Amino acid sequence: MDEKTKKIFFWLFLILVLLFLTELFNNNPTPPDKIDAYIMMKEFVKDKLKSPASADFESNQTIGYKFENGIFTFSGYVDSQNSFGAMLRTRFTVSINYKFETKKWFLESIVFNN
């Protein structure tokens, strides 16, 4: 075998190994953690705000958090502008879950308290 053929076989082998490893990891997904859930929870809350760009959330270090039966529940607050531009603090409780079958997050419930 000449040097060029050896390089081609090497790259084909490497590509096959990478494809195998990718398939292996995709079949054994790691469950989402608190940080993943916190990021998605913020998106679900922002979807309900008048001014999502102004949203300032409580830290993931201090927010109330519970994980039970595959459901992540957060209780905290968000500061955001209302329709008049005034900043308001709104308390909320949000429950979300992740479905491995569809690889998507779902909003179970969201409650806002002023």
Residue 28's pLDDT band (boundaries 50, 70, 90)? Answer: low
Q: Please tell me whether residues 15 and 45 are part of one structural domain.
A: no
Whole-number Å distance between alpha carbons of 24 and 7: 26
Average of pLDDT values for 2-17?
83
Are residue 35 and residue 91 in the same domain, yes or no?
yes
Task: Let me know whether 89 and 48 are in one domain.
Answer: yes
- Whether residues 79 and 42 share a domain: the answer is yes
Examine the pLDDT at 67 and tell me if it is beyond 80. Answer: yes
Confidence of residue 109 (pLDDT cuts 50, 70, 90): very high
Given a cut of 70, whether residue 95 has pLDDT beyond it is: yes
Mean pLDDT confidence for 77-85: 95
Model-level pTM?
0.73
The reply to whether 19 and 66 lie within a common domain is no
Q: Residue 74: what pLDDT?
A: 98
Distances (CA, A) of 63 to 18, 55, 58, 83: 39, 15, 6, 26
